[in-house]
Structure 1
Amino acid sequence: MQAPQTTAMRSPQEVSSLILRKLMPLLIIAYIMSFLDRTNIGIAKERLEIDLGISATAYGIGAGLFFLTYALSEVPSNLIMHKVGARFWITRIMVSWGIISAAMMFVQGEWSFYIMRMLLGIAEAGLFPGVMYFLTQWFVRKERAKANGLFLLGVSFANVIGAPLGGALLNMEGIGGLHGWQWMFLIEGLPACFLAIVVWKMLPDRPTQAKFLTYEEGAALEARIAAEDAAGAEASGTHKLTGVFKDKQILLVVGIYLSEQIAVYALSFFLPSIIGTYGELSSFEIGLLTAVPWIFAALGSYFIPRHATNGTKARKLVSTTMIGICVGFTLGAVSGPVVGLIGFCLGAFCFFAMQPILFTFPASRLSGSTLAGGIAFVNTIGLFGGFLGPYVMGFMEDATGSKFAGLWFVVAVCAVGAFLSFFLKYGELDETESETAVVAAAAK
């Protein structure tokens, strides 16, 4: 049922604010659970080494294998979602990843660890790019970075909540004959299945299906978004998925995103063990300190992306935050506990200040199924950073005996990403857009 019609439609700003209030809490909670279940092995790293004999290199490989299968499944997943709708597909994703994440409690050694991480990657594939595409169907271009940033609050909240929660659950060691890490996987995995029921009941596929909007409001929003997307695709000349692989701006986004993801997951999976070198700390204390940088990540994703209202501002913000990641990780590598943790806070602040802005660049150049596939392509290549970062961190730790050695690799690749960011630009429409142009495109 549609909401009762009113004599006067709400303004676009009022509609946008209403959509944020109705959709974002559910999407943020889903992403909290997603990120929690993919990264909770970080807090269990030392226990997995002791209980199962998994080395730092093997741990890094297992952590990264999730992203290998996740990445390979991204494009087909997003193309399926374009056809069947977000409501059905996100529900399916959540049920499958919740079951497999809970089943991580049955891991017995390196090979079962590898297999379960690969299955988890396949199950969860498509959630992030799917939501990025979903949000392009609900927000006009100048509001997308803000919406993306709010969604990415889920990552920060997951790390703020997850590290102390995981540390506390590890203290359930021996209860019911299970290790603490087994309880952690079980307790953190199953809630995704229950939230999937809420997603199925509450998530509309498009504005004209939303109960909280009138049909006229939904139709007007869909028309404006379609006009913007069509004009941006026309300006870029990229109309087919095969053209995405040749679009220089999309390839720049891929390179920058790859470098940023290497940093994100290097920190996600190895920060607890790095903090463990700061002194005699309990698992819970390590969890609390691990949460601190992610509080700053939440602040970055909330306050910064809303300022990326055009291509020039977006490019400058991406460049500045990529440089900030380099500075932060350098401080983390060379400094003691206090300054080092401040450096990681700076890096984390920049992670999600930059990422939601970066994903507005493909949306300024593509539309329809090409946009769905293009966003998935960017995330696919970027997520190889989720494999490469943990692998190099683990390899360097085993090779040198230092948990800090791999940070220099992160600094180097992020410096390359910062250089590439200076060449980013939106589609032609962003610099010349007017209400007349959008209305004319909508009328065609």
Structure 2
Amino acid sequence: MSAINEKATGSAQARITHKKIYRHLLPLLIVAYIISFIDRTNIGMAKASMSVDLGLSATAFGLGAGLFFLTYSVLEIPSNLFLAKIGARRWIARIMITWGVISCAMAFVTGPWSFYAMRLLLGAAEAGLYPGIIYYLTLWFGREERAKATGLFLLGVCFANIIGAPLGGLLLNMDGIAGWAGWQWMFFIEGLPAVALAFVVWRVLPDKPADAKWLDKQDVAFIETTLAREAREASHAPSAFSLKKALSTRVFLLLVLIYFTHQFSVYGLSYFLPGIIGSWGSLSPLQVGLLTAIPWIAAACGGVLLPRFARTENRSRRMLMVGYLVMAVGMVIGATGGPTLAMLGFSITAFMFFAVQSIIFSWLPSIMSGSLLAGSFGLLNCLGLCGGFLGPFILGAFEDRTGSATSGLWFAVGLLVVGALVATLIRSQVSPSLAAGPVARGEKV
């Protein structure tokens, strides 16, 4: 009876603690990610008018879109190690100020080379935000809650596209005001919120649970006990980051490969979907923006509904495999269907985007911790985001070669099928009881 009472007490404490974290922490992190994603992908809305003004081909535009990820990727690891050392509050605020200023400065590009340079600077400024926040969440949530928390955080991407595409369409209508083109106004105005929110982050974001004034001693004790127990069950101790150790870990390399295929599809679609929709007829920028938001509404639904079911290793593996196959099918429909059917296909693909991404990143804490975990989050994002660079570039090259904005989607389909096959090979290094999940341990799911 005492064991039952103890388990019930622990479950009640978990609900109380998690509710506080979700209420106080997630909204701020989601808003920060919304702003960051708008600022990195808003060139998709500006593609048509900006390409004419600057003399950009589809390939050159895709190259500029992808260059963001070169500096972003290279600086991921040092950025995450800095965050782990000096705390999330200071480092995330620094990231937001620099990327906001550079995003505003995108309004002053004058040609292809200045476009490339500013995209490289923007990537350097924003480096570490996503993996840093994912690492930060591991300080607050245990394994069974982490995928859900990550999925909710990734709603920022969905909201960014739901809000950002129509907003970009409206701002493009400012064309000619004060002698500026509409895309210049869009870049300048959309960069300002990042700078403003940085000061909010500086004031209210706690570095760790013990610093949170809205948690009591019981909450902090529950979090620390949960994380300590999981570290023992996973049979690994916190250790310093080592590139050799990370790259010699089989599970890590498999996660890199499937994340690469994921990011190729996400960013290829993010940057080229407005152009694909614009090719369907005579549509205004606002109409293109509103239609672009539809698949991202589906992505938000998937991000809310699905990650909570990835509570065990077996479920997570199956969800990854099925999720990648579903994305591939959606891409095929998008590449072959008319406007209505294509929109359905893109929505099917987007529905799985952030469900599978949350699962990918929830795997790392089961095989490593400490600075090794922080650095490996950065390294995983760094290597996976090579897909973010190649996606826009390859889709742009296919468009220039074939004259079809959807021709490059077939390349994405092939990569997604590869991702599904690789997902079947992933096995974590947790103890049998943890790998079996809560059901096998007699816990309520």
Given candidates 293, 317, 320, the residue that maps to 2:322 is 320
Query: What's 2:95 paired with?
Result: 93
Give 1:280 deviation, angstroms. 1.3
2:168 to 155, 166, 172: 166
Q: Name the structure 2 match of 1:79.
A: 81
Write the deviation string for residues 270-294 of structure 1: whole angstroms up to 9, x where unpaired. 0000011111111110111000000
1:156 equivalent in structure 2: 158
1:236, distance to aligned residue in structure 2 (A): 12
1:239 positional shift: 8.2
Matched position secondary structure for 2:350: helix
Q: 1:395: how far off? A: 0.5
Match of 2:388 among 379, 383, 386: 386
- The verdict on how the C-alpha distance between 1:236 and 1:309 changes in structure 2, with shifts beyond 3 A counting, is farther
Equivalent residue letter for 2:217: Y
Q: Which whole-Å CA distance do the structure 2 matches of 1:150 and 1:434 have between them? A: 21
- Measured in 1, the distance between the counterparts of 2:330 and 2:222 equals 44
**Residues of 1 paired with 2:25 and 2:109: CA distance?**
36
Could you tell me which residue of structure 2 aligns to residue 210 of structure 1?
212
Q: How does 1:303-318 map to 2 (within 5 A)?
A: 303-318=305-320
Q: Distance in 2 between matches of 1:343 and 1:386?
A: 21
Give, in whole Å, the separation in 1 of the partners of 2:170 and 2:398.
29
**Structure 2 vs 1, CA of residues 57 and 434 (structure 1 numbering), >3 Å: closer, same or farther?**
closer
Q: Which segment drifts farther, 225-234 or 209-218?
A: 225-234
Alignment of 1:35-50 (within 5 A): 35-50=37-52
User: In structure 1, what is the equivalent of residue 123 of structure 2?
Assistant: 121
**How many Å separate the matches in 1 of 2:88 and 2:57?**
39
Q: CA deviation at 1:235?
A: 9.4
| Residue 423 of structure 1: how far off its partner (Å) | 1.0
- Counterparts of 1:85 and 1:77, CA distance in 2: 11
1:156 CA drift (Å): 0.1
1:344-380 superposed Cα distances (whole Å, 9 cap, x missing partner): 0001011111100111111111100000011111100
Matching residue of 2:4: none
Between the aligned partners of 1:235 and 1:27, the Cα distance in structure 2 is: 28
Deviation at 1:249, TM superposition (A): 0.7
Which residue in the other structure is 2:350 paired with? 348
In 2, Cα distance between equivalents of 1:421 and 1:207: 33
Shift of 1:224: 2.2
Q: Is the 1:230–1:367 Cα contact (8 Å) retained in structure 2?
A: no
Cα distance in structure 2, aligned partners of 1:122 and 1:230: 37
CA displacement 1:252-276 (0-9 Å, x = unmatched): 1100000000000010000000011
Counterpart in the other structure of 1:183 = 185
Equivalence for 2:16: 14
Look up the match of 1:4.
Answer: none
SS of aligned partner of 1:428 = coil
Q: Residue type matched to 1:420 in 2?
A: V
Match of 1:431 among 424, 428, 435: 435
Matched, 1:106 2:111: no
Amino acid at match of 2:365: A
Do the aligned partners of 1:235 and 1:428 also contact (CA within 8 Å) in 2? no
CA distance in 2, matches of 1:415, 1:250: 19
State the distance in 2 between where 1:363 and 1:346 align: 29
CA gap of 1:230–1:79, structure 2 versus 1, over 3 A, is farther
Structure 1 distance, partners of 2:422, 2:196, is 42
2: CA distance, partners of 1:237 / 1:419: 31
Give the length in aligned residue pairs. Answer: 429
Q: Specify whether residues 433 and 351 from structure 1 end up closer, same or farther in structure 2 by C-alpha distance, changes over 3 A only.
A: closer
Structure 2 residue 146 is matched with structure 1 residue 144: yes
Give yes or no for contact 1:249–1:425 (8 Å, CA) kept in 2: yes
Question: How far apart, in 2, do the equivalents of 1:369 and 1:237 lie?
Answer: 6
Name the structure 2 match of 1:399.
401
Letter of the structure 2 residue corresponding to residue 331 of structure 1? I
Structure 2 counterpart of 1:247: 249
Who is 2:274 aligned against? Answer: 272
Identity %: 52
Residue 12 of structure 1 and its aligned partner are, at CA, apart by 1.9
C-alpha distance in 1 between matches for 2:250 and 2:159: 34
1:229 is the counterpart of 2:231: yes
Match of 2:65 in 1: 63
In the alignment, residue 93 of structure 1 is paired with which amino acid? I
CA distance change for structure 1 residues 40 and 239 in 2, over 3 Å: closer, same or farther? Answer: closer
Alignment partners' CA distance in 1, 2:206 and 2:256:
30
Q: Provide the secondary structure at the position in 1 that maps to 2:25.
A: helix
SS in 1 for 2:348: helix
What CA distance in whole angstroms lies between the structure 1 residues aligned with 2:92 and 2:266?
24
Given the superposition, is the C-alpha separation of residues 224 and 244 from structure 1 closer, same or farther in structure 2, using an over 3 Å criterion? same
Query: How far off its partner does 1:400 sit?
Result: 1.0
Q: Determine if contact 2:312/2:438 at 8 Å carries over to the other structure.
A: no
- Offset, 1:233: 4.9
Q: How has the CA–CA distance of structure 1 residues 313 and 432 changed in structure 2, closer, same or farther, with 3 Å as cutoff? A: closer
Matched with 2:6 is: none
Aligned with 2:289 (options 283, 287, 290)? 287
Q: Runs of 5+ in structure 2 lacking a partner?
A: 1-8
Q: Give the deviation of 1:426 after TM superposition.
A: 2.7
CA offsets 1:70-107 (integer angstroms, 9 cap, x no match): 00000010011110000110000000000000000000
> Kindly tell me: are residues 145 and 34 of structure 1, through their superposed partners in 2, closer, same or farther at Cα, counting changes over 3 Å?
same
For the 8 Å contact 2:71–2:124, the answer to whether it is kept is yes
Q: Which residue of 1 aligns with 2:5?
A: none
Give the conservation status (yes or no) of the 8 Å contact 2:237–2:369: no
Runs of 4+ in 1 over 4 A off after TM superposition: 235-241, 432-435
Which blocks of at least 5 consecutive residues in structure 1 are unaligned?
1-7, 438-444
For the 8 Å contact 1:71–1:380, the answer to whether it is kept is yes
Contact 2:399 2:406 in 1 (8 A): yes
**Offset, 1:240:** 4.8
| Cα 1:334–1:380 shift into 2, 3 Å | same
